[in-house]
Homo-oligomer: A and B are copies of this chain.
């Protein structure tokens, strides 16, 4: 709609246009899913949250499931590098710890709907076979993401990590999920404060007693 098209529309491979629409629909879908949750999200509602009508979904996706899975992967691409800056910029353990906790708080605050959607989808995968593959893939990606933070923290501390990647991810994810629940259901401010304190207390415990 902006003036980028002068004489003709910009040369664009058909596949690009197609994929762009798919991404556009994925974004509408993610917005709706984050608001309503997996169970209560219908294709019509997704279309309502976009500029298209409900029939268009079947033009770009063969299936509701295909749309959802596409959304999940699309979402992953957005969040997987979330803590890379924290890892790259910190030069001391304390600095990394503060930056990591701050980033956790930030994403909890700014993207609470997306996080609850992720937990929703992960839980649904325990009932629905179709989600299994995508969920396992994302979960692994998140574990790797956490592992980069924890192992960098150990490196800056001059210590070894005393946990497996899975364990480190498990405990941190547990704390984050609890904070999200408190944030959404009870006391947002308390949730953020507690999360900061818990992460600061936990991270040193992931290290071996220094030699």
Interface residues of A (CB under 8 A from B): 36-40, 116, 119-120, 122-128, 132, 135-136, 139, 162-164, 166-167, 169-175, 177-178, 180-181, 184-186, 194, 198, 201-202, 205
Q: Which residue of B lies closest to A112 (CB)?
A: B126
Q: Which of A174, A186, A194 has the most CB of B within 10 A?
A: A174
B39 near A124 with CB under 8 A, answer yes
Note all chain B residues with C-beta closer than 8 A to A178. Answer: 166, 169-170, 173
Contacts of A198 in B (CB 8 A): 164, 166-167, 170
CB neighbours of A125 from chain B (8 A): 181, 185
Across the interface, do A123 and B127 meet the contact criterion of CB distance under 8 Å?
no
Q: How many copies does the complex hold?
A: 2
A126 vs B166: C-alpha distance in the bound complex, in angstroms?
25
A135 to B205, CA, bound (A): 30
Inter-subunit contact B116/A123 (CB<8 Å): yes
**With the chains together, A124 CA to B41 CA distance in Å?**
13
A97 CB to closest chain B CB, in angstroms? 16
Kindly list chain B residues whose C-beta atoms are within 8 Å of the C-beta of A177.
170, 173-174, 177
CB distance from A105 to the nearest CB of B (A): 15
A136: nearest chain-B partner, CB-CB: B185
**Which single residue of chain B is at the shortest CB-CB distance from A34?**
B127
Contact B40 A180, beta carbon cutoff 8 Å: no
Cβ–Cβ < 8 Å partners of A169 in chain B: 178
Nearest residue in B to A120 (C-beta to C-beta)? B123
In the bound complex, what is the Cα–Cα distance between A120 and B185 (angstroms)? 15
Name the residue on B nearest A182 (C-beta): B166
| Residue of B whose beta carbon sits closest to that of A115 | B126
Contacts of A132 in B (CB 8 A): 185
Q: A132-B185, A178-B166, A202-B171 are in contact. Are A123 and B126 (CB under 8 A)?
A: no
